[in-house]
Amino acid sequence: MSDITLDAHSVQISPVILCGGSGTRLWPLSRAGFPKQFLVLSAGGGNQSLFQQAIERVRSVNDSSIAVGNALIVTNEEHRFLALDQLREMKDLQATLLLEPSGRNTAPALTIAALQAIEGGKDPILVVTPADQTITHKDAFSKALHKAITVAKTGSIVILGIAPTAPETGYGYIKTSNTRDS
């Protein structure tokens, strides 16, 4: 998938799957040695783990206007074999595993993925997603992702999320000076 010839109106994206969680919030199903993102949950995922579902969601936007390149998987050293085993189960997938010696949160993980994505002079749009989410409305998500990529193609940073109903320090905050409700 990474060697797709693009026409003048196509855009190249690189999926970045953040897969470094430690598995403490869904205990006892999830634990340090087998965190949430590698679980197969019955809610809408069939026989794929949350990690595999995240990859498939981004791959699903591949069409004549969007070329999905090599997936960049950022995980930690401890989970490399879990990630590799689950990647092997996926058909026609090209992926690069980027290993962190220890988890250092999102900014360093994005930095290593961005540096890998631009290697060789490429300049793809990075589509970044955590590996531990459940998305039940896949068509709506795909439509939103298409729209986000179209906006990102103009040089903007696009963030998809759910409007909060209450303050929650566990998710952090994004403060902007100009909001676009699309």
pLDDT digits (tens, 9 = 90+) for 89-125: 998 889 999 998 777 788 899 999 999 999 989 899 9
For residue 66, which of 150, 126, 123 has the smallest C-alpha distance? Answer: 150
Q: The dihedral of CA 5, 125, 85, 37: what is its sign?
A: negative
Strands 66-68, 11-19: pairing kind: parallel
pLDDT of residue 4: 42
What is the domain partition of the chain in residue ranges? Answer: 11-171
pLDDT of 2 strictly over 50: no
Percent of the chain with pLDDT over 90: 41
Residue 1: the pLDDT is 40
Q: What is the pTM of this model?
A: 0.83
- Of the listed ranges 53-57, 70-74, 98-102, the one predicted with least confidence: 98-102
Q: How far is CA 149 from CA 15, 85, 146, 153, in A?
A: 11, 30, 5, 6
Is pLDDT of 85 > 90? Answer: yes
Joined together, the tokens standing for residue 87 give 């990647």
pLDDT score of 160: 86
SS3 of residue 15 by DSSP: strand
Place of tokens 């900014």: 107
- pLDDT, one tens digit per residue, over 139-171 is 999 999 999 999 999 999 998 887 778 877 766
pLDDT for residue 10: 80
E strand or H helix at 129:
strand 125-130
Q: Measured between alpha carbons, how far is 130 from 106 in angstroms, rounded to an integer?
A: 10
More confident residue, 165 or 130: 130
Q: What is the CATH number of domain 11-171?
A: 3.90.550.10
